[in-house]
Amino acid sequence: MVELSTSEEYAEKMRSFLMQLSNKLNVSLNWVIDIYYWLSDNVKAREFQLEDEANRPTRAEIIRIFDDGKGVVGVRLRFSSDSRRNEYYYTTVGKYGAKCTCERNMINGKVCKHIVAGLILMNVINVLKYGRVINLDEFRWLSEGGKGGLREDS
Ligand SMILES: [Zn+2]
């Protein structure tokens, strides 16, 4: 792991990514930031927590990180359901596509909050490991399906 010189630098890189993500998804920045905080409160991952991860909730877990040696290219995650006990959703997000087993939470049949969380997590790991923000232009599936199709109220 590469240590960042300041936490301000980290925050700036996260902010820049979250703005890029909200533009790509055509949703408000606040909606994306909400998912960022929801994820950071719930994920069990040393990469995400800059401090001790003991006593953290474990509603989200990293199963696998895909890395091609130049950057993070995908993640596989497990989320526990918000509403049903002992129910889990499996989410895979990568450069060439994304899928999530939750289905009913899908927005416009394409992206749910777990997938958005996966993209955010990929960026967290990429910034910490490679010092770079992920370029969402390489995620062509995000732009497919037309503009304005995503709804924030789903
Ligand atoms: Zn989902």
The Cα 24–Cα 95 span in angstroms is 14
Is residue 133 included in any domain, yes or no? Answer: yes
Domain membership flag for residue 61: yes
The larger pLDDT score, comparing residue 103 to residue 81, is at 81
Task: Give distance in angstroms: CA of 70 to centre of ligand 1.
Answer: 27
pLDDT of residue 108: 57
User: Which of 20-28's residues contact partners 24+ apart within 8 Å by CB, and which partners?
Assistant: 20/133, 20/136, 21/116, 21/119, 21/120, 21/136, 24/136, 24/139, 24/142, 24/143, 25/111, 25/116, 25/142, 25/150, 26/147, 26/148, 26/149, 26/150, 27/150, 27/152, 28/152
Split into its structural domains, the chain has a count of 1
Does 150 map to a domain? no
For ligand 1, the distance from its centroid to the CA atom of residue 108, given in whole angstroms, is: 12
pLDDT attached to residue 81: 84
Task: Write the DSSP symbol of residue 142.
Answer: G
- Report the half-sphere exposure of 64 (CA within 13 A, side-chain side): 10
Burial of 146 (0-12, 13-18, 19+ CB in 10 A): exposed
Q: Bridge partners of 79?
A: 60, 89
pLDDT at 153: 45
In a domain, 67, yes or no: yes
| Ligand 1 center–CA 67 separation, angstroms | 22
pLDDT band at 8, cuts 50/70/90?
A: confident
Q: Please indicate, yes or no, if residue 78 is contained in any of the structural domains.
A: yes
Q: Structural domain of residue 108, as residue ranges?
A: 7-50+57-142
C-alpha 102 to ligand 1 mean position (Å): 4
Q: Is residue 151 part of a domain?
A: no
In a domain, 82, yes or no: yes
